[in-house]
């Protein structure tokens, strides 16, 4: 049996026009004194656009993150450059060491060939001598050209080699040139100029070789020591560069990446909340309500507990928007949502699923308890008008009411859509019976709820505070 509770007298009072309402208010003020306007509810916090629009922290973090990445990239590139430089230096050092060693061997080869040619005069020995001279000249050109070069910073390739090759007391380049000059003269002088040939042979085989060999040995030793010291410095630069990159990565993770992730997560949670929250009232939107209600129905089915599903609608809300404007209409919706949150339990699920349509799910609630709870809610809302400020800046109050359709089930396999459709039948019946009432449609968990009689005009006036 469909049960309902209405306040038809309230609607009839409103239908009689503003004159009757004003008359009732005057009578009430004469008996009880001026009526104080109800305390304006705290407006719901607007969407934190500042959090979305204030991009300075995010921009700072982004700039710092990009700067850190750029710095790491620079260090990484520098490390690769240093590695390539070390490789080139090692190759260059190997070539120089090889050429110096070849010069050392070339001296002995020239001495042996010159000795045989000077003693025997064999043309074959002459050929070997000329070949050794050309080979040593080629090595000399390579060494002098390489030693004279500077690196990218204007530093000499080897300060030690420049000192030994071009400065006294060694002047290895000059002495090598003399040695090769005397060797070529010995190879070109005819036998008829024996005296000149003897002088040339003496320089090539006796006077210059020991000095050249000592200078080349010293050059090789000093250059290898210098090259090893430079290589150690390059490796140290790589090592400290790698440590610095690791330090930057740690600082980036702690002071940039972690706050950035936290901010992104915060925005994600905020957007997720906005996706599941009604922007005006702060209640669950339709999607969130349906999801939470489905979860609760499954739990109730597992436990075999009772559940009450309610659908409510603000009476004649279109006329509120048409008469007072949408701004006041929004205030009424917010006021109604606040009353629902205040008067219902924290575990009850409330959602705004339409313009002025709200859905409620009362878990672990019997049919009788649910009817009583919703009926008390209806009465409370009818007694608490919505405060607002009119166009003249004066505080006003706007009475309003709501109708409810409800269904109670226990251990039911029906989904939330089906239960809302059945509650909507009760809401439709409540509208047909004059609004401002609760109508319970048959379910599988009804208990005998008392049938309420329509309220009289005096009772309605007393409920909304128009009579003492």
Residues belonging to the active site = 356
| Whole-number Å distance between alpha carbons of 91 and 82 | 14
Burial of 279 (0-12, 13-18, 19+ CB in 10 A): exposed
| Whole-number Å distance between alpha carbons of 41 and 388 | 10
Phi, psi angles (nearest 5°) of residue 121: 70, 25
| Whole-number Å distance between alpha carbons of 308 and 449 | 14
Could you tell me if 339 and 274 are in contact, meaning their C-beta atoms sit under 8 angstroms apart?
Answer: no
**What's CA 413's distance to the chain center, in Å?**
43
Task: Say which DSSP state 47 is in.
Answer: P
Nearest to 21 by CA among 466, 402, 388, 456: 466
| Whole-number Å distance between alpha carbons of 402 and 379 | 9
| Whole-number Å distance between alpha carbons of 426 and 436 | 12
| Whole-number Å distance between alpha carbons of 427 and 311 | 7
> In 353-401, which ranges are E strands?
357-363, 386-389, 395-398
According to DSSP, the β-strands at 3-5 and 349-352 are: unpaired
Burial of 320 (0-12, 13-18, 19+ CB in 10 A): buried
According to DSSP, the β-strands at 402-410 and 438-440 are: parallel
Residues 6+ apart with CB under 8 A from 386: 328, 331, 332, 335, 336, 397, 398, 399, 400
Q: Tokens 């003269």 map to which residue?
A: 185
Q: Tokens 């049996």 map to which residue?
A: 1
**Residue 101, token pair as written in the block:** 């060693």
């Amino acid at each position: 049996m469909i049960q309902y509770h209405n306040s038809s007298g309230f609607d009839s009072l409103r239908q009689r026009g503003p004159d009757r309402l004003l008359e009732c208010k005057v009578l009430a003020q004469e008996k009880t004194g001026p009526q104080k306007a109800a305390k304006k509810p705290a407006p719901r916090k607007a969407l934190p656009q500042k959090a979305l629009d204030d991009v300075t922290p995010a921009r700072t973090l982004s700039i710092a993150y990009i700067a850190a990445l750029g710095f790491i990239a620079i260090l990484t590139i520098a490390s690769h450059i240093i590695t390539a430089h070390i490789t080139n230096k090692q190759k260059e050092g190997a070539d120089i060491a090889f050429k110096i060693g070849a010069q050392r061997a070339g001296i002995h080869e020239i001495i042996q060939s010159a000795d045989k040619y000077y003693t025997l005069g064999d043309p074959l020995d002459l050929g070997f001598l000329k070949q050794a001279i050309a080979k040593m000249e080629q090595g000399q050109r390579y060494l002098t050209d390489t030693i004279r070069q500077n690196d990218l910073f204007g530093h000499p390739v080897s300060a030690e080699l420049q000192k030994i090759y071009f400065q006294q007391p060694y002047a290895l380049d000059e002495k090598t040139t003399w040695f090769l000059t005397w060797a070529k003269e010995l190879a070109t002088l005819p036998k008829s100029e024996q005296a000149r040939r003897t002088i040339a042979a003496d320089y090539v085989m006796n006077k210059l070789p020991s000095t050249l060999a000592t200078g080349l040995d010293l050059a090789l030793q000093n250059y290898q020591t210098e090259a090893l010291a430079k290589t150690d410095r390059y490796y140290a630069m790589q090592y400290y560069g790698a440590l610095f990159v690791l330090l930057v990565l740690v600082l980036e993770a702690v002071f940039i990446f972690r706050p950035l992730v936290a901010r992104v997560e915060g925005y994600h949670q905020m957007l997720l909340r906005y996706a599941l929250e009604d922007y005006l009232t702060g209640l669950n939107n339709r999607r969130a309500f349906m999801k939470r209600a489905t979860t609760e129905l499954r739990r109730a089915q597992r436990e075999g507990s009772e559940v009450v599903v309610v659908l409510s609608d603000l009476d004649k809300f279109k006329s509120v928007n048409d008469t007072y404007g949408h701004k006041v209409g929004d205030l009424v919706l917010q006021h109604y949502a606040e009353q629902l949150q205040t008067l219902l339990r924290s575990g009850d699920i409330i959602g705004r699923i339409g313009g002025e349509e709200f859905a409620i799910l009362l878990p672990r609630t019997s049919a009788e308890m649910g009817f009583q709870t919703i009926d008390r809610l209806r009465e409370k809302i009818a007694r608490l008008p919505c405060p607002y400020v009119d166009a003249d800046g004066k505080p006003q109050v706007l009475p309003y009411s709501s109708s409810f359709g409800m269904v109670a089930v226990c251990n039911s396999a029906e989904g939330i859509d089906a239960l809302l459709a059945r509650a909507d039948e009760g809401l439709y019946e409540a509208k047909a019976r004059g609004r401002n009432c609760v109508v319970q449609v048959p379910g599988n968990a009804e208990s005998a709820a008392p049938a309420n009689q329509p309220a009289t005009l005096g009772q309605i006036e007393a409920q909304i505070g128009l009579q003492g």
